[in-house]
Chains A and B, each alone.
Chain A
Amino acid sequence: MMDYQFNTADLFFALPELFMIAAIALILLLDLFVSERFQNLTYYLTQSTLAITGYFAFNLIGESAVIFDGTYVLDTIGSYFKVFMMVFSIVALVYSRHYLRAHNLLKGEYFILSLLSVLGMMVMVSAHSMLTIYLGLEIMSLSLYTLIAIARDRAVAVEAALKYFVLGAIASGLLLYGMSMIYGITGSLDIGQIAAFATGANLNSEQVLILNFGLVFLVIGIAFKFGAVPFHMWVPDVYQGAPTSVTMFLSTVPKFAATAMLVRLLIDGLGGLQAYWADLFIILAILSIGLGSLVALMQTNIKRLLAYSTISHIGFILLGFITGVVEGYGAATFYVLAYVLMSLTAFGIIIALNKQGFEADQIVDFRGLSKHSPWFALLMLFVMLSMAGVPPFIGFYSKLFILQQVVSAGYIYLAVAAVVFAVISAYYYLQIIKTMYFDDAEKEITVTAPLDMRIILSINGALILVLGLMPSYWMELAISLF
């Protein structure tokens, strides 16, 4: 083994992560020592940290390097993902604050844990070694488990956290097992060296067998993080049980990290086995789309409904990866972006309806929203139509791009099945629209969301339409990442 020579320039390439860990330590201490009067300080510092980190990541776009003895990589997709994660985290925290205030959860730990999980995601995004991926995954997951349990006097939240924790631990175990298999056969943790091994021409059948054996476990670990069927069991319970702001965070930003994990492990690392893992993804994708679409029909809790809707969206994202071509990966990435935008708006509106001590998480809570708050009802209409895949919203294009790629890769039956289930799922999206526009409210709905949240939510919602009208730039960007 060669001796490792530390290179100071490497630190520059990891600037976003380094800045963030320093900032987290600082905020943690400040939050301890400043008095109650400055309780907003933590929030603003957190937002600034995210913004500055995003700025650093943005400036690093275009640079590429493998650093820290091959354990860490800086490339375009990583930098873009980091920028996206920062932006969406900022938005999510703006929405969260209203929710936290309404439910007396406004504590410094909430923001610090959010930051820590984002740090974990950044590590995952930039990982170039299986160990780094695992490290990032655990930083992220542990923070998220704790975030869910932050409402510790709520039994459902604690239950959700525990379920997520135990199942997450099992999934981590499976992932580690897969990694050890891969390490055993390739003799390296380095993604680059794994790739070199997996694409090698003279693999004998036993090597392929062991690689595949490991691959299955890696895919399961990834599928668990995405919440794809049959590893989705945690999703509905956690979405429903967690405080809504955590659900929102959980359903949006970590999707980038999960995508990055997929890209690092399966495309960068085991790209040579694409035919094998695509095979698995077909099953996962079609099960997810089907189950997500069908079961959502029966839900009355909107968070649970969105959980199943997420499962179905995840199916679409996985469909993009089975194509094995750059355009397909790009379409999947675009879908992630579109999904995160839509999901943020949806949860943002749910949060906006929260009031002091009132949790608006039933579909019936949306009755008559169009009369009391036509603007938010309109935004929700945008989201629902977009999620259902109605043009000209962004959700339509994301589905269209995926289906185009799936068809041109020759999986016509998959495209047909996906469309059929998408039509079925349109029913429950329309159901919500009907509830908002045609049902009478049983009680007065007042929206108490603060101005900053209203503005950001409006922009967020409008983007669903605007990006739907001009999707080509983002689509090209998404393709260029691969």
Chain B
Amino acid sequence: MLENYLPIIVFIFLGIAFGVGLTLVGYLLGPSKPDEEKNSQFECGFPAFEDSRMHFNVRYYLVAILFILFDLEVAFFIPWAVVQSKLGWFGFIGMSVFLLLLVVGFIFEWKKGALEWE
């Protein structure tokens, strides 16, 4: 029974080896000219080190939420795509309706200005 898990163990080891190996290669072979900008950690749009209770732009959240919404809904296409060949026209039309509603939602957010940064 345990032998069923062998491929997983192999994958884990392979993964670790690959990751460590590539890092090592880069460290050993790459040129190394550090400066201040390069050493600072990257974070999207914020200064990296600051008080955590700072003010930042609420638009990030709006965009993030919209992104997650559409992301999740699009994720719904994956299982559908797998069995689409068995569902036939029913599946196609059903998904079209779903997509249509999604588009309505998209038009709404667009028109409401949720996508405008200013």
Contacts and interface: CB of A to CB of B under 8 A. Distances in A.
Q: Do chains A and B touch in the complex (CB under 8 A)?
A: yes
A32 interface: yes
B108 A28 contact: yes
B74 interface: no
Nearest to B111: A32
B117 to A, nearest CB: 20
A29 interface: yes
Interface string A13-43: 0000000010001001100110000000000
A25 B107 CA distance: 11
A32 B101 contact: no
Interface string B63-100: 00000000000000000000000100010000000001
B22 to A, nearest CB: 42
B23 to A, nearest CB: 41
B107 A32 contact: yes
Nearest to B97: A21
Contact of A28 (B86, B90, B100, B104): B104
Nearest to A18: B97
B112 interface: yes
Contacts of B86: 3
Given A32-B111, A32-B112, A6 B104 contact: no
A249 to B, nearest CB: 22
Contacts of A29: 104, 107-108
A6 B90 contact: yes
Contacts of A32: 107-108, 111-112
B49 to A, nearest CB: 31
A31 B85 CA distance: 38
A32 B104 CA distance: 11
Given A32-B108, A32-B111, A32-B112, A25 B101 contact: yes
A244 to B, nearest CB: 26
Nearest to B107: A29
A33 B108 CA distance: 10
Contacts of A28: 104, 108
A241 B5 CA distance: 56
Contacts of B104: 25, 28-29
Nearest to A25: B104
Contacts of B108: 28-29, 32
A28 B107 CA distance: 10
A170 B106 CA distance: 29
A293 to B, nearest CB: 43
A21 B97 CA distance: 11
Nearest to A3: B86
Contacts of A21: 101
Contacts of A6: 90
B114 to A, nearest CB: 12
Interface in A20-74: 21, 25, 28-29, 32-33
B52 to A, nearest CB: 22
A6 B107 CA distance: 30
A6 B86 CA distance: 12
A28 B111 CA distance: 11
A112 to B, nearest CB: 9
A6 B97 CA distance: 15
B84 to A, nearest CB: 14
A32 B107 CA distance: 9
A356 B112 CA distance: 27
Contacts of B107: 29, 32
A72 to B, nearest CB: 14
B86 to A, nearest CB: 8
Contacts of B101: 21, 25
Contacts of B112: 32
Contacts of A25: 100-101, 104
B79 to A, nearest CB: 14
A32 B109 CA distance: 10
Contacts of A3: 86
B61 to A, nearest CB: 15
Nearest to B104: A25
A33 B111 CA distance: 9
A25 B104 CA distance: 7
Interface in B15-66: none
Which 10 residue pairs of A and B lie closest in terms of their CB atoms, listed nearest first?
A: A6-B90, A32-B111, A25-B104, A28-B108, A28-B104, A29-B104, A25-B101, A32-B108, A29-B107, A32-B107
13 contacts: A3-B86, A6-B90, A21-B101, A25-B100, A25-B101, A28-B108, A29-B104, A29-B107, A32-B107, A32-B108, A32-B111, A32-B112, A33-B111
